[in-house]
Amino acid sequence: MDEKKTFKRRVFDIIQIGYKGDLPSCIFDIFISVVIILNILAMTLETFESLSPAAPVFEAIELFTVAVFCVEYILRLWTADMLYPQYGKITSRLRFLISYDGIIDLLTILPFYFLSGFIVFRMLRVVRIFRLFKINTQYDSFNVITAVLKERRKQIISSVFIILILMLASSIGMYSAEHNAQPGVFENAFSGMWWSISTLMTVGYGDIYPVTVMGKLMAIFTAILGVGVVAIPTGIISAGFVEQYRKDEFSDVHYPDVSHIGELVADEASGFIGKTVGELTDTHSFRVLVLLRGELTVIAMENTHICEGDILVVETERIKKKKKK
The domains of the chain, with CATH numbers, are 2-135 (1.20.120.350), 153-251 (1.10.287.70), 256-324 (3.30.70.1450)
> What pLDDT score was predicted for residue 325?
44
With cut-offs at 50, 70 and 90, classify the pLDDT of residue 278. Answer: confident
> For residue 280, which amino acid is it?
L
> What pLDDT score was predicted for residue 132?
53
With cut-offs at 50, 70 and 90, classify the pLDDT of residue 137. Answer: very low
Long-range contacts of 208-217 (CB under 8 A, 24+ apart): 210/174, 210/177, 210/178, 211/178, 211/181, 211/182, 212/177, 212/178, 212/181, 214/177, 215/174, 215/177, 215/178, 215/181
Mean pLDDT of the chain: 77
pLDDT above 70 for 258 = no
With cut-offs at 50, 70 and 90, classify the pLDDT of residue 126. Answer: low
Question: Quick one: average pLDDT of 207-217?
Answer: 85
Percent of the chain whose predicted confidence (pLDDT) is above 70: 78
> What pLDDT score was predicted for residue 123?
61
Residues 6+ apart with CB under 8 A from 287: 281, 314, 315, 316, 318, 319
Most confident among 22-36, 124-138, 246-260 (mean pLDDT): 22-36
pTM for this model (two decimals) = 0.50
- Using CA atoms, how far apart are residues 182 and 209, in angstroms rounded to an integer? 10
> What pLDDT score was predicted for residue 144?
72
**Weakest-pLDDT range from 70-79, 109-118, 269-278, 279-288:** 109-118
Question: Quick one: average pLDDT of 248-273?
Answer: 65
> What pLDDT score was predicted for residue 131?
55
- Using CA atoms, how far apart are residues 35 and 33, in angstroms rounded to an integer? 5
pLDDT above 70 for 293 = yes
pLDDT above 50 for 179 = yes
Percent of the chain whose predicted confidence (pLDDT) is above 90: 1
Helix (H) or strand (E) holding 313: strand 311-315
Question: Quick one: average pLDDT of 106-133?
Answer: 61
**Weakest-pLDDT range from 51-55, 65-69, 77-81, 242-246:** 242-246
Check residues 139 and 173 and name the one with the higher pLDDT: 173
> What pLDDT score was predicted for residue 3?
63
- Using CA atoms, how far apart are residues 170 and 164, in angstroms rounded to an integer? 10
> What pLDDT score was predicted for residue 29?
80
Q: What is the pLDDT of residues 99-115, one digit of tens each?
A: 877 887 777 777 666 65
> What pLDDT score was predicted for residue 308?
84
Q: Are 89 and 81 in contact (CB under 8 A)?
A: yes
With cut-offs at 50, 70 and 90, classify the pLDDT of residue 204. Answer: low
